[in-house]
Amino acid sequence: MKLADDFYQRIQDRVRARLAEDELDGLIVTVPGDVAYLIGFFYAVTERPVYLWFGRDGSRFALLPELDAEYAAAQGVHADIRTYFEYPGVRTPEQHLADELAKSGTPLARIGVSSALTIGAQAALVDALPSSSFIRTRILSDLRLRKEPEEIELHRQAADVCDEMLGAGRALIEAALRSGGPLPTEGELARAVIGFGTDRMYERYSHVIYTTKLAGGLVYAGPNAARPHGLPSRRRLEIGDTLILSLGAAVGSRFVESERTFVIGEPSAAQRAYFDVALRAQEIGTQAMTVGRTCASVNTECLDVIRDAGLGGYIRHRQGHGIGIAQHEAPWVEDGDPTVLAPGMILSSEPGIYIPGHAGYRISDSVLVTADGPQRLTRYPRTLEENTIA
Amino acid sequence: MKLADDFYQRIQDRVRARLAEDELDGLIVTVPGDVAYLIGFFYAVTERPVYLWFGRDGSRFALLPELDAEYAAAQGVHADIRTYFEYPGVRTPEQHLADELAKSGTPLARIGVSSALTIGAQAALVDALPSSSFIRTRILSDLRLRKEPEEIELHRQAADVCDEMLGAGRALIEAALRSGGPLPTEGELARAVIGFGTDRMYERYSHVIYTTKLAGGLVYAGPNAARPHGLPSRRRLEIGDTLILSLGAAVGSRFVESERTFVIGEPSAAQRAYFDVALRAQEIGTQAMTVGRTCASVNTECLDVIRDAGLGGYIRHRQGHGIGIAQHEAPWVEDGDPTVLAPGMILSSEPGIYIPGHAGYRISDSVLVTADGPQRLTRYPRTLEENTIA
C-alpha cells in the first residue's frame, strides 16, 4: 500500500514551486490527509496535533507526539521527525514548533495554513510565532484535486475491494433466501460487508495503513432508505424491500465509493419507475464528467434528469464529490462549485431520489476523469434486472 | 440509547445561564459532539456543516443539509429544524444561517463559538454576519466535563460491552490454542472484537446512534505493541507474545475504553517485571483520581511509579484523558492540565510502558470520579495471573 519515494519527491517539488509563486516562506500542515499526502505518515488521529513544517528553503520536519515517533520512523516518512511529549503539555505543541523553527533559522514572515485549521490552533500558533502572518492557502487542496498515476492505481485496487463487498452483501441475502431463514438486519449486513472488506485488505496487503478507515458502509432498506445518511438500524430486511448498500473502501488511504440499489423479490411498478430514473440520472451524469466542463454544469445536467421526470421533490443532495485521501474532498459536483474538470480528478457520481415512507434509490460510482472521457473505477452491475435479488 | 427530554432541558437551561453570565447573545454550535449533547442529533459527519443556533433569548434552531432533515426529525431532536440544500451551495451554509437569524430578529452582537471551529468556517461566518463579534467560549466543553446521571448510566452500559469485547478476543485466542490451529493475526483479532461489540449493540438497543463509531479497537502484539497507537497489522500472534487489546465502545455516543495486556504462554521474567510496573502505575494512578486533586498531580503521581522503577525512558504518553461523547475530550490527565477533579468526571487511566523491539504494556480503565472516591466502570480482570493465556 506504500507509494514509492518518487511520488513524495514529485509532490514536494510542486509544493515548493507553489510556495515560491505565492511568496510564502513555508506551510504549517496539520490536516491528517495533507500530512499523509505530503510525507506518507498515517496515524491514529487524536487531539494531539501533528505539525509538519515545509519551508520554501528546503527545511522540513514533522513534529509529533512522543507516542507516534517510533511508528512514524517505521513507516519511513519523508521528513525529519521531532517530538513533543504530550497534549496539552506544560509547553504547548505550538511552542515546541516555534522552538524547532527558531533552531532551523528559516524565514517565517508569511506562513501558509489550511482553511481546516481550527481557530484554537491558530490562536496558539499566533501566540507562539508572534512575528509571522498566517495566510489561508489552497496549495495542498489544489494539488490533491488531480491524482497521480500511482494514486489512481490504489483507487483502482480499492474499487475492486468495494465491488467485492457489494457482492458479499448480496450473497448473504441470497443465502438467507435459499435457506428459508430470516433475512439479515441492516446492522448485520453492514457488519458483514465491512468485515469482508477489511479481511480482503489484510489478505492482499502486507502494510495496511489508513487515515480514517479501511472499509465502511451504510446499509438501509425499506422506509429507512429514504434517509440518505441514516445509520444502519436493527430493522430486518423483508421481501419487497428496496435496499441501498452504500459502501466505501480505501487502499493506501485512497478511497472509492461503490453504492448500489437492490430490490428483494419481484419489483413493483413503483420500484421499477423510481429505479429507472435513478439509473438514468446516474448514467447521464456520469457521461457528463468530461474534461473542460464545470462541476456545476455536470450536476445540473444530472439532476435535471430527475426533475424532468417529475421527481424533483425527491432530490435530497447533489450529484457527487471529489474522492481521494479523504472520502469526501474537493471538488464538489454541485451548483456552487465552478471547478473545471481535468484529467486525474476522481469524482463520485451518485444522484439519488428519496421517497419518504417508501424508500430511496441511489447508484454511485467513483469516476476517473480522463482525456478520453469518464472512466468508472467501480464496476459492479447497476441495472434493476441484475440487482433484483430473488 | 436515547436520553429523556428532561436531560436536554437541563443542559439547555445551564447553557442559557452561562450565556447570561458571559454576556453572550448566543452560541453557534457546529462540533458534532456538541450538537449531539445539546439537542440529541446524531449524524454521519461530512463537509456539510450543521449549524445550531442557541440564543440567550430562547431562540433556537438547527440548520441542516437537506439530506439529514428527515433523519433529524425521526430522531426527535430538541430544536427546530431549518435546511439548506447542499454544500458548497450557490449561497453558502453560513449565508443561509444569517438569513434564518435575520428572520428571527434575535440580538447577535456577541456570539460564542468553540475553539474547534475551523478558520475557513469562521471567515465564512464573519462574511455572512459582519456586525457580529465571534468569541471563543468554553461553555459547552466546561459543561461536558461533568457527566449527568443519565449519561453515566450509558457509560456503564458501554463498559459492559467493552469488557465483553475483551473476553471475546481472549476466547478467540484460546480456541486457536486448544485446536492447535494458527493463532489469529492482529487484523483478524481487531475485526472479530469490533464485530462482536457491534453485534452486542444491535442486540441490546433498538435505536442505535453514534457520533463516530459504536465499537473500535487497536490490537498489537510482540514488537508492534511497543508503538502505542500503531494500526493493527497482519502479523500473526505467537506463543510468547505480549498482546495489548485497546478497545473502545459507546452507547448513545457515551464512550469508554477498556484496555488490557495479555501474555500468550508462560510469561518470561522480563514480561513479569514490565507487567508488574504497568499494573502498579495503573492502580496507584487510578486511586489518585479523587475529588479536589488536579489532573497534573494525579498524572505525576502515576508516572512517578514508572520513573521510580527505573523505566522512565519507556514512557511515551500521559496517564489519561477525559472520555464522554468524544472518545478523547477534556480534561487531560497530564502535567499541563490544572483542572481540579470533580464528581461526575470520567477519565481514562492508562499509563503505559513501551520497550522498543520487545513490546508494550498498558492497562486502561474508564474511571468515574465520585465523592466517595474513584470508581472503575470497566471491570475486566487486570492481573498477569488472570491475563496469561495458556
Residue A72's pLDDT is 94
Is any Cβ of chain B less than 8 angstroms from the Cβ of A209?
yes
- Indicate yes or no: CB of B328 within 8 angstroms of CB of A46: yes
Percent of chain B with pLDDT over 70: 100
- Indicate yes or no: CB of B229 within 8 angstroms of CB of A67: yes
Residue B328's pLDDT is 96
Q: Give B363-389 pLDDT, tens digit per residue.
A: 999 999 999 999 999 999 999 999 999
C-alpha grid cell, residue A317: 443532495
pTM of the model: 0.95
- Indicate yes or no: CB of A356 within 8 angstroms of CB of B70: yes
CB-nearest to B70 from A117, A205, A226 is A226
Residue A214 in contact with residue A250, Cβ under 8 Å?
yes
How many C-alpha atoms does A23 have within 13 Å on its Cβ side?
Answer: 2
Residue A338's pLDDT is 98
CA–CA dist B136, B115 (Å, integer)? 6
Is any Cβ of chain B less than 8 angstroms from the Cβ of A191?
yes
Residue A145 in contact with residue A345, Cβ under 8 Å?
yes
Closest CA to A232 of A245, A215, A241: A245
Query: Closest approach of chain B CAs to the CA of A81, in angstroms?
Result: 15
CB-nearest to A231 from B210, B218, B321 is B210
Query: Closest approach of chain A CAs to the CA of B376, in angstroms?
Result: 23
Query: Closest approach of chain B CAs to the CA of A182, in angstroms?
Result: 15
Percent of chain A with pLDDT over 90: 92
Substitution target in B118, B213, B302 with the highest count of A β-carbons within 10 Å is B118
HEC secondary structure over A7-68? HHHHHHHHHHHHHHHCCCCEEEECCHHHHHHHHCCCCCCCCCCCEEEEECCCCEEEEEEHHH
Report B:236-275 residues touching A (Cβ under 8 A): none
Burial class (CB in 10 A: 0-12, 13-18, 19+), B342: middle
Q: What is the DSSP letter of A117?
A: S
Q: Give B129-185 pLDDT, tens digit per residue.
A: 999 999 999 999 999 999 999 999 999 999 999 999 999 999 999 999 999 989 999
Q: Give A88-113 pLDDT, tens digit per residue.
A: 999 999 999 999 999 999 999 999 99
Residue B385's pLDDT is 98
Band (A291; pLDDT cuts 50, 70, 90): very high
CB-nearest to A66 from B44, B210, B316 is B316
Is any Cβ of chain B less than 8 angstroms from the Cβ of A195?
yes
Q: Give B283-341 pLDDT, tens digit per residue.
A: 999 999 999 999 999 999 999 999 999 999 999 999 999 999 999 999 999 999 999 99
Q: Calculate mean pLDDT across residues B99-125.
A: 97
Residue A221's pLDDT is 95
Q: Give B188-215 pLDDT, tens digit per residue.
A: 999 999 999 999 998 998 877 777 788 8
- Indicate yes or no: CB of B233 within 8 angstroms of CB of A208: yes
Substitution target in B91, B193, B227 with the highest count of A β-carbons within 10 Å is B227
Q: Give A48-90 pLDDT, tens digit per residue.
A: 999 999 999 999 999 999 999 999 999 999 999 999 999 999 9
- Smallest CA–CA distance from A321 into chain B, residue: B87
CA distance readout (Å), B65 to A178, A359, B49, B68:
40, 19, 7, 6
Q: Which residue has the higher pLDDT, B213 or A328?
A: A328
Map residue A275 onto helix, strand or coil: helix
CA–CA dist B155, B324 (Å, integer)? 8
Is any Cβ of chain B less than 8 angstroms from the Cβ of A67?
yes
Is the pLDDT at A211 greater than 80, yes or no? no
- Smallest CA–CA distance from B138 into chain A, residue: A120
Residue A133's pLDDT is 98
DSSP string, A156-219: HHHHHHHHHHHHHHHHHHHHHHHHT-PPPBHHHHHHHHHHHHHHHHHHH-SS---SS-SEEEEE
Closest CA to B68 of B93, B50, B92: B50
Query: Closest approach of chain B CAs to the CA of A224, in angstroms?
Result: 9
Provide the ipTM: 0.95
- Indicate yes or no: CB of A119 within 8 angstroms of CB of B122: yes
Query: Closest approach of chain A CAs to the CA of B45, in angstroms?
Result: 9
Residue A113's pLDDT is 98
As a whole number, the mean pLDDT across chain A is: 96
Percent of chain A with pLDDT over 70: 100
Query: Closest approach of chain B CAs to the CA of A52, in angstroms?
Result: 18
HEC secondary structure over chain B? CCCCHHHHHHHHHHHHHHHHHCCCCEEEECCHHHHHHHHCCCCCCCCCCCEEEEECCCCEEEEEEHHHHHHHHHHCCCCEEEEECCCCCCCCHHHHHHHHHHHHCCCCCEEEECCCCEHHHHHHHHHHCCCCEEEECCHHHHHHHCCCHHHHHHHHHHHHHHHHHHHHHHHHHHHHHHHCCCCCEHHHHHHHHHHHHHHHHHHHCCCCCCCCCCEEEEEEEHHHHHCCCCCCCCCECCCCCEEEEEEEEEECCEEEEEEEEEEECCCCHHHHHHHHHHHHHHHHHHHCCCCCCEHHHHHHHHHHHHHHCCCHHHCCCCCEEECCCCCCEEEEECCCCCCECCCCCEEEECCEEEECCCEEEECEEEEEEECCEEEECCCCCCCCCCCEEC
**Chain B residues with CB inside 8 Å of A114's CB?**
120
Is the pLDDT at A171 greater than 80, yes or no? yes
- Smallest CA–CA distance from A44 into chain B, residue: B229
Query: Closest approach of chain A CAs to the CA of B317, in angstroms?
Result: 6
Is the pLDDT at B5 greater than 90, yes or no? yes
What is the separation of C-alpha A206 from the centre of its chain, rounded to a whole number of angstroms?
22
Residue that the C-alpha cell 432541558 belongs to: B9
Q: Give A123-160 pLDDT, tens digit per residue.
A: 999 999 999 999 999 999 999 999 999 999 999 999 99
Substitution target in A43, A127, A210, A316 with the highest count of B β-carbons within 10 Å is A316
Is any Cβ of chain B less than 8 angstroms from the Cβ of A88?
yes
Query: Closest approach of chain B CAs to the CA of A105, in angstroms?
Result: 27
User: Is the dihedral angle over the CA atoms B45, A376, A285, A385 positive or is it negative?
Assistant: negative
Band (A209; pLDDT cuts 50, 70, 90): confident
As a whole number, the mean pLDDT across chain B is: 96
Substitution target in B135, B218, B231, B328 with the highest count of A β-carbons within 10 Å is B231
Residue A143 parent element (H or E): helix A139-145
Band (B226; pLDDT cuts 50, 70, 90): very high
- Indicate yes or no: CB of A316 within 8 angstroms of CB of B67: yes
Residue B214's pLDDT is 82
Residue type, B118: T
Q: Calculate mean pLDDT across residues B40-58.
A: 95
Is the pLDDT at B1 greater than 80, yes or no? no
Is any Cβ of chain A less than 8 angstroms from the Cβ of B316?
yes
Residue A23's pLDDT is 98
Burial class (CB in 10 A: 0-12, 13-18, 19+), B171: middle
Map residue A88 onto helix, strand or coil: coil
Residue B2's pLDDT is 85
Q: Give A263-283 pLDDT, tens digit per residue.
A: 999 999 999 999 999 999 999
